[in-house]
Amino acid sequence: MAVAATAQGSLSVIALISGGKDSFYSILHCQANGHRVVALANLYPSVAVGEANPDAQQHPTQAEPGTGDIHVGRDDDETDLNSFMYQTVGHQIIPLYARATGLPLHRQPIVGTAVHHGLSYENPRHGSQRLVASNGETLKPSDDHLAPATHDLQGYNKRETDDENKHEPEDETESLVPLLRAVLKAHPEANALCTGAILSTYQRTRVESVALRLGLVPLSYLWQYTELPPSVSSSCYDQSISLTVSVTRKGHDATKRARKRAQDPPRDDARLLRDMAAVGLEARIVKVASAGLDEDFLWTNVASEAGVQRAERAMRRFGAAGGRGSILGEGGEFETLVVDGPPSLFKGRIVVSDGNKRVVREGGGCAWLSFRRADVVLKDELEQGRSGQLPNAVDVRKPALLDPRFEDTLQCLLAIAAGDKQELGFVNLSCDDNTKPTDNLGSTSSSYPITTTGLLKCELPLSPQSSSSQEWCYLGISGAESSTIEEQTVSIVDQIRLRLKERALPATAITNSVIVLRRMSDFPLVNEHYGSLFSRPNPPSRVTISCGHGFLPEDVAIAVYLTVRLGLQPQERRGLHVQSRSYWAPANIGPYSQAIAFPLLSLPPAKTVTREEGEDESKLEQPFQKASSPLAVSIAGQIPLLPASMALPSSSLSCNVELQITLALQHLWRVGIEMQVRWWTSAVAYFSMTPSTEKMQRQALLAATAWEAAHLWPDLDNGDTDNNERDLSDEDEAGPDLWDRRYNAEFMVHGAGDEEGSFPLSLPNWSVLKGLDVHDAGGDEDNHMDVTSENKVVKVPFFFAAEVEELPRQAGVEWHAHLGLAELRPGCVILLPTIRDKVSSPEVGFLNLDLHHVLVNAGDAVFIQTTVTLRSPVCHDETLVSTDVLRSASTITATSLRKLLRLSLNPSIKPKLTYTAAIPLSDNGDIEHIGALIPCRSLWDSQGCRLRAVSIFETRVTKTK
């Protein structure tokens, strides 16, 4: 559930500056998004002023805008702190920014060094000031000047606990705390903190940790900026205009661009430097530490076309130009100092004469500038007018809202809404070419043809309890009929704590959760107590829905379902928890991450890494190594918030439904790409309750189309909207087909990482599928994918839609991918033909049952996700499904798995999740026997037909010799 700050108006921002280009360009984006910067804040190296004074934390330096002192350095200052966290070179210039910008500047010396080296940062006192959600409306002020960000943190308040590890060395990150407290005391209206993080998780997570502890909304508008679609001028980024018109105008161009380039536009990191130059930012290189850049580059304006080209040429000679973020200095290749910018921020420019700059050489190719004196030259009105901008105008370039893939997806949905479905040129994936009807699998005498896909005989774990992955299910029953939602939640949390303790498991063993509420209005209160389970970085991903009245047992207001991974070592678990606003995807402020990755299958026995009492877990965190097992990626449910504002698209838009479906799906895609997901196992789109069956059916069809379109892009053909006839040259540009994506190097997207150059790194990554070959009439019938240019047929991951009572923030849709798969070898994913059967039902005689197996072959072990659907023989029939029918479906699934894997006995299995249409949970006995049950108002397949139930099974087996 991608929900974070809710304030949609102007924020009062503290700008954390280092003097570098990114922090100042981030300020410009704050202004462009309607926020007001109230103060600048900076940390400087204590070596510049002698040893750190303990009293300095209580009395930080403040430079007022009118300060005119321009003697800024010391002659003997020839050391650079080389902080992991803060830029310190050029710190002598920082005091002049107060006069240059007209903003008050607060400074504080850096105390300590990098003690906690993990990418994800936590309060070193283990949450002594951890924030938790309270009432969803107000944020309680504290003696520590907690900012009044009333709506932005959904009621976060400060919880005091015992102060642990008082005597451990202070991490340099914590120097931000007294600095920001002092700023808040001087500017109590401040409620946000902006930083210039682009690709650095290390820096972003540390700023977020401090900001949230102090009640400040973190803003990182440059986060993933280089990965986002080409920018548009902010003057053209008016979200009040009709996006229908915008998309219709762009749709055809986007489609032709997609066909020509045959992939998402290549990343151009230097575009960010050119965007900086376009607004008049002047960023001088003040330190070089790269083999490609020598001291001749010092004082070069890198925010200029000449500077960019010169840096690119130099880095290319040493093979560094292709590295992610290298041209931006993200890997420490260089550091910059901003000396001028647009009039909305800079009222004057900083001038340094050559005689006041000295080159300091550290050895190993590292050199930097030390400054003795600088001046601020204020700009007159005439000079500001020459810039072409009004003094308060901000015209930075913002990334487009939608990637080309999703611009085209939205265009497809709009075509459907206009009745032009036949013009889309989709491959009809609903055809049952790959479906093999079978006899009743529940009969011991029946048999059916099914490929074993070349697998050896397998064996299951001895029992579900011995599996490496377990599902823990809880209903909010406290024993009293009048128990409140708070009492029920506290009871569940206590049960989880006890179970973790009994099994000697940390809370990090929980990888994801699904929370079902009777009333969505209870969510803020539930969030407070649920969040108390997690004090470490990267809490589990989470999905939250409301089912309404009549579906949970009487007097039960909450159900919590957890996936728990046994034996999960700290270095095996990777999380993505972006809590800052950006243009990338919605921020997750709260006890849930965007995604958690962990080994899909049990790894070979290895030496257990344990944490000594009092030892920080981040010290055990190591760079994430490629596992011998593929990775499972659990991703939070995604709702269609506009990332930069954390608001939903305007309900007045004529394309509101189509836009919400597309935007939320793009969020899922972006998180998946960041986690290197190559394939989804299946997905559900939740919709809030609709007034009619027809509307829900239409929404299900739209979501199914979006799911299909996102997978098949850029092979979409929206027709020739400019009425020009297509000729052979158009066809030549229409590639690539699936064969190209696997075998033609021209269309393979190469990237850094362990999979370097082996096969494309796109999502979806067709190379991971077994049987993706050019059609051979004499080949194995199981290679059911025909990828010749005349007839492309491919199955996308299974999709269905679920109607529930309500979604977070009153969103219209929430996308939930059941599992992402990463670190996959080519050909290791097998999509088995659909198996059809029937299951006896006392109400209607029988129900149709379909089995969809996705198999991951990982050497000595196998993972299978099985999606089971039940439907009535009569379309739109309202038949209820009993728990006995669900148990029968599990038996049929077990029989199918036994035959597929050549097991000696039926496995003892229970669904990971079961979605049911209009069937209430009766008591705890239901979840004990059939697992996590998500009661829905209706369920729909990709063809707009009603389903009665959907069950998701996960099976992990090892091969026998």
Q: CATH code at 357? A: 3.40.50.620
Alpha carbon separation from 26 to 6, 439, 580, 636, 796 (Å, rounded): 20, 63, 12, 27, 39
Please give the angle made by the CA atoms of 504, 508 and 511, to the nearest 5 degrees: 120
Q: Identify the band that residue 315 occupies on the pLDDT scale cut at 50, 70 and 90.
A: confident
Mean of pLDDT values over 495-518: 97
Question: 675 and 576 in contact (C-beta within 8 Å)?
Answer: yes
Mean of pLDDT values over 64-78: 53
Task: Give the domain extent around 213.
Answer: 12-233+353-399
> Is the pLDDT score of 453 beyond 60?
no
192-201, 240-249, 325-334, 692-701: range with lowest mean pLDDT: 240-249
Shared domain check, 44 and 189: yes
Task: Report the alpha-carbon distance of residue 733 to residue 258 in Å, rounded.
Answer: 10
**Could you tell me which residue, 568 or 325, shows the higher pLDDT?**
568
Question: 628 and 603 in contact (C-beta within 8 Å)?
Answer: yes
Shared domain check, 198 and 88: yes
Note the helical H segments in 633-692: 656-674
Shared domain check, 57 and 164: yes
Mean of pLDDT values over 653-671: 96
pLDDT reported for residue 150: 24
Q: Identify the band that residue 468 occupies on the pLDDT scale cut at 50, 70 and 90.
A: confident
Shared domain check, 482 and 374: no
Question: 557 and 485 in contact (C-beta within 8 Å)?
Answer: yes
Q: Identify the band that residue 466 occupies on the pLDDT scale cut at 50, 70 and 90.
A: low
Q: Identify the band that residue 365 occupies on the pLDDT scale cut at 50, 70 and 90.
A: confident
Closest of 563, 489, 492, 556 to residue 526, by C-alpha: 489
600-604, 731-735, 839-843: range with lowest mean pLDDT: 731-735
Please give the angle made by the CA atoms of 529, 646 and 655, to the nearest 5 degrees: 125
Shared domain check, 473 and 371: no
Among 566, 581, 604, which residue terminates a domain? 566
834-868 burial: b if 16+ Cβ within 10 Å, else e:
bbbbbbebeeeeebebbbbbbbbbbebbbbbbbbb
In a domain, 18, yes or no: yes
pLDDT reported for residue 922: 62
Task: Report the alpha-carbon distance of residue 703 to residue 697 in Å, rounded.
Answer: 10
Share of the chain above pLDDT 90, in %: 51
pLDDT reported for residue 585: 97
Shared domain check, 372 and 502: no
Residue whose entry in the numeric block shows the structure tokens 């040259």:
729
Q: Amino acid identity, residue 628?
A: S
Q: What is the pTM of this model?
A: 0.83
Mean of pLDDT values over 10-38: 96
Shared domain check, 213 and 76: yes
Other C-beta atoms within 10 Å of 493: how many? Answer: 18
Task: Report the alpha-carbon distance of residue 279 to residue 131 in Å, rounded.
Answer: 38
Mean of pLDDT values over 65-87: 54
CA terminus-to-terminus distance, the chain? 43
pLDDT reported for residue 480: 59
Task: Report the alpha-carbon distance of residue 828 to residue 741 in Å, rounded.
Answer: 17
In a domain, 201, yes or no: yes
**Could you tell me which residue, 930 or 578, shows the higher pLDDT?**
578
pLDDT reported for residue 577: 97
Alpha carbon separation from 834 to 308, 369, 440, 557, 564 (Å, rounded): 54, 67, 14, 37, 29
In a domain, 604, yes or no: no
Angle between helix 693-712 and helix 404-417 axes, rounded to 10 deg = 140
Q: Identify the band that residue 853 occupies on the pLDDT scale cut at 50, 70 and 90.
A: very high
Task: Report the alpha-carbon distance of residue 95 to residue 27 in Å, rounded.
Answer: 17
In a domain, 60, yes or no: yes
In a domain, 754, yes or no: no
Task: Report the alpha-carbon distance of residue 608 to residue 678 in Å, rounded.
Answer: 29
pLDDT reported for residue 183: 98
pLDDT reported for residue 555: 86
Tally the domains of the chain: 2
In a domain, 869, yes or no: no
Shared domain check, 161 and 83: yes
Q: What is the pLDDT of residues 792-837, one digit of tens each?
A: 456 899 999 999 999 999 999 999 999 999 999 999 999 999 999 9
pLDDT reported for residue 8: 59
Q: Identify the band that residue 129 occupies on the pLDDT scale cut at 50, 70 and 90.
A: very low
Shared domain check, 385 and 489: no
Mean of pLDDT values over 892-900: 94
Among 549, 566, 583, which residue terminates a domain? 566
Q: What is the pLDDT of residues 336-348, one digit of tens each?
A: 999 999 999 999 9
C-alpha dihedral sign at 399, 404, 406, 407: positive
**Could you tell me which residue, 65 or 314, shows the higher pLDDT?**
314
Other C-beta atoms within 10 Å of 200: how many? Answer: 20
Q: What is the pLDDT of residues 761-793, one digit of tens each?
A: 689 999 999 876 423 333 333 333 333 333 345
In a domain, 79, yes or no: yes
Shared domain check, 208 and 106: yes
Shared domain check, 213 and 88: yes
In a domain, 595, yes or no: no
Q: What is the pLDDT of residues 220-239, one digit of tens each?
A: 999 999 989 876 544 433 34
Among 566, 597, 624, which residue terminates a domain? 566
pLDDT reported for residue 884: 86
Task: Report the alpha-carbon distance of residue 924 to residue 545 in Å, rounded.
Answer: 20
Shared domain check, 167 and 65: yes
Per-residue H/E/C for 554-597: CCCCEEEEEEEECCCCHHHCEEECCCCECCCCCCCCCCCCCEEE
Instruction: Give the DSSP H or E segment for 928.
Output: helix 924-930
Please give the angle made by the CA atoms of 787, 792 and 798, to the nearest 5 degrees: 105
Q: CATH code at 547? A: 3.30.1330.40
* 290 CB-near residues (< 8 Å, 6+ apart): 315, 318, 320, 326, 331, 332, 333, 334, 365
Q: Amino acid identity, residue 575?
A: G
